Structure 1
Amino acid sequence: MLNKIMSKKISKILLDRYKYLLKSLFPANDPAFMIIGAQKAGTSSLYHYLSQHPKISGSNPKEVGYFHRDRHFGKTITDYRTSFRGLRSRSHFEATPAYLYHPNVAPAIYYSYPSMKFIVVLREPGKRAYSAWNHYRNLFESGRYKKAVLEKPTLPGNELASKLFENRTKFPSFRECIDIELEIINSDTEFEPGILRRGLYLKQLEEYWKYFSKDQFLVLGFKDLTDNLEASLKKITDFLGVQSFDIDSVANEARNQRTYTEPMLPEDRNFLDNFYETPNKKLFDAIGRLNW
């Protein structure tokens, strides 16, 4: 049994290396569009669906992160373009949900790619916040936070590691995380942790609209993907100007789903409803209601 498991692992490693070497023979490209968010709103699943289109190629890795992270630590736009190796005739893209929320990303993208198209998937912000907390809790309890959070270089204002992960034997509850963020939310000196603020979508979109026209954006609701994938993919291909999907050929299993140890407490749900009531109304006034 152990030999079979080891054999499968070795085969996968060899296959991954073969795919990497094969892809390295193709030229680097510029992206034609980006999925920029939101965090915990189905971007991994959407990346997987779009990568199956015969005229669309996803980046390697899925979340390149150049515009919010790598360019601050010595990488160049030439390095960035190597994440999109493939045929020139394809529309290349990345899916980095941090781009929607992180400061100064919009002007950085505009400087390099003023004609970029953007796909944004928005999830009801209270559910998104709880999902983000559950994701961080899972990272902590599995021990994977050391590689995913603590070992990565961070920008000034990113206090996610120190606020939520460092010097703890137990991950803070959802309410504790909310209270941690509420303490810093008025100072506006930190952008992470952003469990609450990542759900203030209009503010994030407005930052992009300073540089890009609204017709460069396609905004979908999270439930558009989960409840009516075929119609959502048709909207996307129309937006990108490529042929429609053969929906019967799409492997449409969801990605990055996690179990919850407990449901959200009613008092926390009430707090979130009040916190997001006015921001959500302003968002809907600006872009229309969403199926999120």
Structure 2
Amino acid sequence: MEPGESPLSLTPDETKAIAPPPHFIIIGTQKGGTNSLYQYLCQHPQIIPAASKEIHYFTLNYHQPPQWYQSQFPRLPHPQQLTGEGSPYYLYHPAVPQRLHQYSPQVKLIVLLRNPVDRAISHYYWEVKLGCEPLSLEKAIAAEAGRLEGEQEKLSANGTYYSFNHQHYSYLDRGIYVQQLQRWMAIFPRAQFLIIRSEDLYTHPDTVVNQVFNFLDLPPYHQGNYNRYNAGNYSPVSPQLREQLEAYFQPYNLKLREFLGQDLGWDSHEKLNLSTLPPQEVKPKTVSDTMKIDYEGAWDDYAQTWVSTNPDFNHIGDEWIGKAAGAAQSRAEYEQIIENTFIAPYIQKQHRVLEIGIGGGKTAALLLKYCDRLTCADISHEMLKATRDRLGEDRVNYVKLDGITLDRIPPASLDVCFCYDTMVHIEPRDIFNYLTRIPPLLKGDRLCIFHHTNTLSDLGWQKFLVDWDQNLLGRRQGTAFSIMTDNLMAKFLSHIGYEILHKDTTTVPRDCVWICRAPVSPTVSITS
């Protein structure tokens, strides 16, 4: 779509105006380009701006009634139109996630994250410009801890408390993004967030802005110019101070990378934590090391941080409810779909089942209701531990995989291979590898249920557009979604000799599920 072109054609029934809550909010970060992004978004013919970009209802104006907040948004004459705001203090304020969730639990959240060193410096000079900061940069940083002491606790405890220091003097603290995002994602599901590097917005605004439009389910819109708003203009800080700031933020950036499953590129990989490792663990990286997808480390990290980021769930995997895949709206509904569609019709009481990629034991618990024995296999030690804690060892055994072979599982010892919500994260070459190694393990019915993402489905393509640029040049994180299609999987299965019994692309619209029978003989020419 080009500037001036409108996709909307109103019918008489659609002209009735309504005043919905905001469809999206840019929640931060301050001095991360939020003003520019909001101005760009409001150029889209289907986005109608609010009364002002920064309404600050959930921080500075929470004493106002909800009707006041609603009045800040336009009445939309067409159901395809959207409105939203951008208040960058929301990300940092400790009380906002719960307040916003109570008001609008379905709102889409956009987060801009800027290199915290650059953000802190820009923030300082902005406060100087406003006349709020009398100290030098070095002294302001040194004074920050004292200025902020106890303020966050007061903000959390008192709904009417306002802290000038918290809003204005949080140069370093605002750059500890991992703590802020953990707080938000403990309340809102990850699928409602779009996280963008500010640096990408600055260098490739058209690409980033259209990534946001896709996230908002809007058609593309290309603007002629992308002028930067509120850009700072100040002299560079000394190399010594910058180095000190980089050292301060480095461990927090590492935790952020582990939490998000993506490298935001603010630190030199060669410097990360090498000084804190024992000498024998510091090894020079090879090309194969840097390009390797670390499935094991990624899922171990996921499991280790799960409790702090998912306090409302009892078990790992309960947060995967199939909503983003178009399958269900709740965990109970999704489990019922899996059980009734892919387990009950196929798994029999005499079956011994292998599950590859157990993900905390959600589907394993369902399988145990139908089968005789279950072998839980996973590359992640932490996931195996979580599943053992959930299921125990009655009729269950656990196998740690190396990511390549299935050698620790005895040949011809199982009747069924079940792999659900696992291949969606595995690259095609790794999927093909597993498919070649499964047949020797099976006997009897040799039944297989395989579930993978389908990139060329409507939802699969939307998912790809959201995260493709976060997985470039070997930075692909082990929990990311793979690029896979139903046609490619069909080619894999037929080449190896699987008998396809059923292909399902409707139960989980984003993905594809196969019911097939493994070949009796595993003799297959992988190179032919």
Superposition TM-score tier, normalisation by shorter sequence:
0.7 to 0.9
Displacement, 1:266?
Answer: 1.7
Aligned 8 A contact 2:32 2:113 in 1: yes
- Per-residue Cα deviation, 1:154-178 (whole angstroms, up to 9, x for no partner): xxxxxxxxxx4xxxxxx21111110
Is 1:256 aligned to 2:230, yes or no? Answer: yes
Task: Tell me how far 1:237 sits from its aligned partner.
Answer: 1.2
Q: Is the 8 A contact 1:221 1:290 kept in 2?
A: yes
Amino acid aligned to 2:146: E
Once the two structures are superposed, residues 169-204 of structure 1 have per-residue CA deviations (whole angstroms, 9 ceiling, x without a partner) of xx211111101113356x443534211100000100
Tell me the amino acid that sits aligned with residue 65 of structure 2: T
5 Å-filtered alignment, 1:54-69, equals 54-69=45-60
Alignment of 1:2-81 (within 5 A): 28-72=19-63, 75-81=64-70
Query: How many angstroms apart in 2 are the aligned matches of 1:235 and 1:51?
Result: 14
Counterpart AA for 2:82: S
Amino acid at match of 1:87: L
Q: Is the 8 A contact 1:52 1:250 kept in 2?
A: no
**Aligned 8 A contact 1:224 1:232 in 2:** yes
Superposed displacement of residue 243, structure 1? 0.8
Are 1:134 and 2:125 an aligned pair? Answer: yes
1:33 Cα deviation after fit? 0.7
In the alignment, the residues of structure 2 paired with residue 291 and residue 83 of structure 1 have an alpha-carbon distance, to the nearest angstrom, of 37
Which of 174, 177, 185 aligns to 2:140? It is 177
- In structure 1, distance between residues paired with 2:151 and 2:232: 31
- How many Å separate the matches in 2 of 1:290 and 1:236? 18
Pairing partner for 1:116 from 87, 107, 123: 107
Structure 2 distance, partners of 1:189, 1:64, is 22
Relative to structure 1, the CA distance from residue 88 to residue 76 in structure 2 (aligned partners, 3 Å threshold; closer, same or farther) is farther
Q: CA deviation at 1:290?
A: 2.1
Deviations 1:239-287 (A, max 9, x none): 1111111x1x343111011211x21122211221111010000101122
Partner of 2:300: none
The range that moved more, 174-183 or 129-138, is 174-183
Matched, 1:209 2:185: yes
In structure 1, give the amino acid aligned to 2:257.
Answer: F
Alpha-carbon distance in 1 for matches of 2:99, 2:38: 22
Contact 2:18 2:76 in 1 (8 A): yes
- State the distance in 2 between where 1:250 and 1:98 align: 30
Query: Equivalent residue of 1:133, what SS?
Result: helix
Q: Give the secondary-structure state (helix, strand or coil) at the position aligned to 1:270.
A: helix
> Percent identical across equivalent pairs?
32
Distance in 2, matches of 1:35 and 1:253, equals: 18
- Report the 3-state secondary structure (helix = DSSP H, G, I; strand = E; otherwise coil) of the residue aligned with 1:276: helix
Alignment match, 1:284: 257
User: Would the aligned equivalents of 2:49 and 2:74 in 1 still touch at CA under 8 Å?
Assistant: no
Residue 9 of structure 1 is matched in structure 2 by none
| Counterparts of 2:145 and 2:239, CA distance in 1 | 19
1:235 corresponds to: 211
Aligned with 1:86 (options 75, 93, 97): 75
The AA in structure 2 aligned to 1:178 is I
Match for residue 221 of structure 1 among 193, 197, 215: 197
Give the residue type in structure 2 aligned to 1:253. Answer: N
Distance 2:129 2:151 in 1: 27
The CA distance in 1 between the partners of 2:77 and 2:95, in whole Å, is 29
TM-score (normalised: structure 1) = 0.76
Q: What residue is the counterpart of 1:167 in the other structure?
A: none
CA distance in 2, matches of 1:138, 1:269: 21
Paired letter, 2:144? E
> Which whole-Å CA distance do the structure 1 matches of 2:70 and 2:146 have between them?
40
- Matching residue within 113, 128, 151 for 1:189: 151
Give the match's secondary structure for 2:72. Answer: helix
SS in 2 for 1:83: coil
Q: Which amino acid aligns with 2:181?
A: L
CA RMSD of aligned residues (A): 1.7
Matched, 1:270 2:243: yes
Q: How many aligned residue pairs are there?
A: 233
- When Rg is computed on C-alpha atoms for both structures, the one with the higher figure is 2
TM-score (norm 2): 0.43
Match of 1:96 among 80, 87, 95: 87
CA distance in structure 1 between the partners assigned to 2:229 and 2:66 by the alignment: 29
What is the DSSP-based 3-state SS (H/G/I as helix, E as strand, rest coil) of the residue aligned with 1:94?
strand
Higher helix share: 1
Distance 2:95 2:224 in 1: 35
Distance (Å, rounded) in 2 between the aligned partners of 1:263 and 1:93: 35
Shift of 1:86: 3.5
